């Protein structure tokens, strides 16, 4: 397939006796550890923090939902990932309270049967009854959608005899040896080493020479908890923003409103402007909730985003070698004339989960575990998610060049 030049999957596969080292104990890293452990691998997961889910995955509540409109690759991936969540996450962790997607215009209806099957269209009155609050438009009702507390899910995933958690270990560099990769600390001590290393440390992959070139950006965002004195909300209500009911189980009047988006943020911090924006958004979704003016709890974090908004899942390209081997890609030579794409042996990534990390993590973990264990059943999906896809696109456009030999 000419459109897949340079995206061939790595040909090496690992014996499950090889332990895997995973950097980053957020949703991505914990999902990969869990999926590899299920396939018989021993895993060590290393994080700079004392506890798991201490960075972006520290968000107290995240929505798990499909995309019911559009037939893009992003929608297909999200919907597979959503199905995967419905079939694999424990019911006491994935709280399937349902979601109402407000219909702004009926032109934005689901496009295919698969997505139609996930949602039913309710008139405004019926949608209001389901939500237990007055709504102002018709809505698609997605009964299986819901929310999770990511830290609870991460802890659940790591609760496996084949997984060891190594806290308070910041990896500052990766050093290649004859055997594999050493994870080095700031004072150049070897934290651990293995022939199989997975980078799941979101935007911080930029700290490593081998992954510095990956085109990722950070999108800041905030959610806020507001007390409602209206009737208790029963479902998630969503448009371009969302509100989630009763995520503090003892307190059903506390609703979450999210999330704001700020492109290219270097740091995250809670701001009054975002709290005000979340309050306005919540009031426009469900005007009868009667929210208190001040937020009782706020959380801000950084999403790690890719240019095409799909995660990066797969082997890490050896960029210098890639630029050399594929330097005349823009001239359109046949696929057979190119060597196999050069990857750093044993080095993989699961990053760039963006705004849908809670929905996508379990599926991403499963895809990467399949690739590593030599199961190419999902080859086509994995090719679409290869970290090298951006390099290929740049080479095709003549925008990337090999350095001096
Ligand atoms: C405001 C907001 C709202 C959101 N809402 C939703 C939602 O409703 N639904 C949804 O699906 N998604 C949502 N998301 C997205 C979701 O939260 C993220 O996609 C997901 O948490 C990312 O997980 P991760 O494991 O990739 O990154 P992280 O959780 O950031 O994990 C990376 C880990 O790597 C560790 N690390 C980094 N560098 C190093 C190093 N050098 N050495 C050791 N450890 C290191 C960090 O300590 C961290 O624990 C939201 C995000 C934000 C910010």
Give me ligand 1 centre to Cα 364, in Å.
14
Q: What percent of the chain has pLDDT over 90?
A: 79
Contact 127, 141 (CB under 8 A): yes
Q: Which pLDDT tens digit goes with each residue over 156-180?
A: 999 999 999 999 999 999 999 999 9
- Ligand 1 near 222 CB (within 6 A): yes
- Ligand 1 near 150 CB (within 6 A): yes
For residue 25, the model assigns a pLDDT of: 98
- Residue of 248 and 342 predicted with greater confidence: 342
For residue 17, pLDDT beyond 90: no
> Where does the pLDDT of residue 404 fall: very low under 50, low under 70, confident under 90, or very high at 90 and above?
low
For residue 2, the model assigns a pLDDT of: 39
Provide mean pLDDT across the span 27-31.
98
The per-residue b/e assignment along 263-298, b for 16 or more CB within 10 angstroms, e otherwise, is eebeebeeeeebbebbbebbbebbebbebeeebeeb
For residue 55, pLDDT beyond 80: yes
Return mean pLDDT, the chain. 92
Quote the CA–CA distance of 373 and 20 in Å, as a whole number: 11
For residue 138, the model assigns a pLDDT of: 95
Catalogue all structural domains in the chain, each as residue range(s) with its CATH number.
2-56+152-216+307-396 (3.50.50.60), 94-148+218-302 (3.30.9.10)
Give me ligand 1 centre to Cα 55, in Å.
6
Quote the CA–CA distance of 27 and 34 in Å, as a whole number: 10
In ligand 1, the atom with minimum distance to the C-alpha of 30 is 25
- Residue of 111 and 42 predicted with greater confidence: 42
Quote the CA–CA distance of 217 and 302 in Å, as a whole number: 9
Provide mean pLDDT across the span 55-74.
91
**C-alpha gyration radius of the chain:** 22
For residue 1, the model assigns a pLDDT of: 36
For residue 405, pLDDT beyond 70: no
- Ligand 1 near 201 CB (within 6 A): yes
Quote the CA–CA distance of 278 and 284 in Å, as a whole number: 10
> Where does the pLDDT of residue 403 fall: very low under 50, low under 70, confident under 90, or very high at 90 and above?
low
Give me ligand 1 centre to Cα 279, in Å.
24
Q: What percent of the chain has pLDDT over 70?
A: 95
Cβ neighbours of residue 253 under 8 Å, at least 6 residues apart? Answer: 227, 228, 229, 232
For residue 245, pLDDT beyond 60: yes
Give me ligand 1 centre to Cα 166, in Å.
18
Lowest-pLDDT choice from 281-290, 295-304, 324-333, 395-404:
395-404
> Where does the pLDDT of residue 113 fall: very low under 50, low under 70, confident under 90, or very high at 90 and above?
low
- Write the residue with the smallest CA distance to atom 39 of ligand 1: 201
């Amino acid at each position: 397939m000419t459109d897949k030049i340079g995206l061939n999957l790595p040909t090496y596969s690992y014996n499950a006796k090889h332990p895997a080292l995973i950097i980053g104990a957020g949703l991505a890293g914990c999902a990969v550890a869990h999926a590899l452990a299920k396939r018989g691998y021993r895993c060590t997961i290393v994080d700079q923090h004392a506890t798991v889910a201490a960075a972006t995955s520290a968000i107290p509540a995240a929505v798990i939902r499909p995309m019911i409109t559009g037939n893009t690759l992003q929608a297909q991936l999200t919907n597979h990932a959503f199905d995967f969540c419905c079939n694999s996450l424990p019911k006491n962790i994935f709280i399937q309270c349902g979601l109402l997607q407000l219909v702004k215009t009926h032109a934005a209806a689901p496009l295919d049967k698969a997505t139609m099957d996930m949602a039913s269209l309710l008139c405004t009155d019926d949608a209001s009854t389901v939500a237990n609050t007055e709504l102002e438009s018709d809505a698609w009702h997605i009964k299986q959608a819901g929310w999770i507390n990511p830290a609870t899910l991460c802890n659940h995933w790591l609760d496996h005899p084949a997984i060891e958690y190594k806290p308070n270990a910041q990896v500052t560099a990766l050093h290649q040896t004859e055997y594999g990769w050493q994870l080095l600390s700031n004072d150049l001590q070897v934290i651990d080493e293995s022939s199989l290393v997975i980078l799941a440390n979101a935007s911080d992959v930029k700290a490593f020479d081998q992954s510095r070139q990956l085109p990722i950006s950070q999108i800041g965002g905030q959610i806020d908890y507001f007390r409602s004195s209206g009737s208790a909300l029963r479902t998630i209500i969503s448009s371009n923003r969302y509100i989630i009911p009763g995520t503090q189980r003892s307190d059903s009047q506390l609703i979450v409103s999210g999330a704001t988006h700020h492109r290219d943020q270097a740091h995250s911090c809670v701001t009054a402007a975002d709290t005000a924006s979340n309050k306005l958004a919540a009031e426009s979704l469900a005007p009868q909730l009667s929210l208190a003016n001040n937020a009782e709890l706020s959380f801000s974090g950084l999403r790690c985003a890719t240019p095409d908004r799909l995660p990066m899942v797969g082997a890490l390209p050896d960029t210098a070698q890639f630029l050399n081997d594929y330097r005349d890609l823009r001239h359109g030579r046949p696929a057979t004339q190119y060597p196999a794409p050069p990857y750093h042996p044993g080095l993989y990534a699961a990053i760039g989960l963006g705004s849908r990390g809670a929905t996508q993590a379990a599926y991403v973990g499963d895809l990467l575990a399949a690739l590593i264990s030599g199961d190419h059943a999902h080859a086509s999906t994995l090719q679409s998610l290869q970290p090298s896809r951006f390099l290929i696109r740049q080479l095709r456009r003549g925008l990337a060049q090999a350095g001096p030999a």
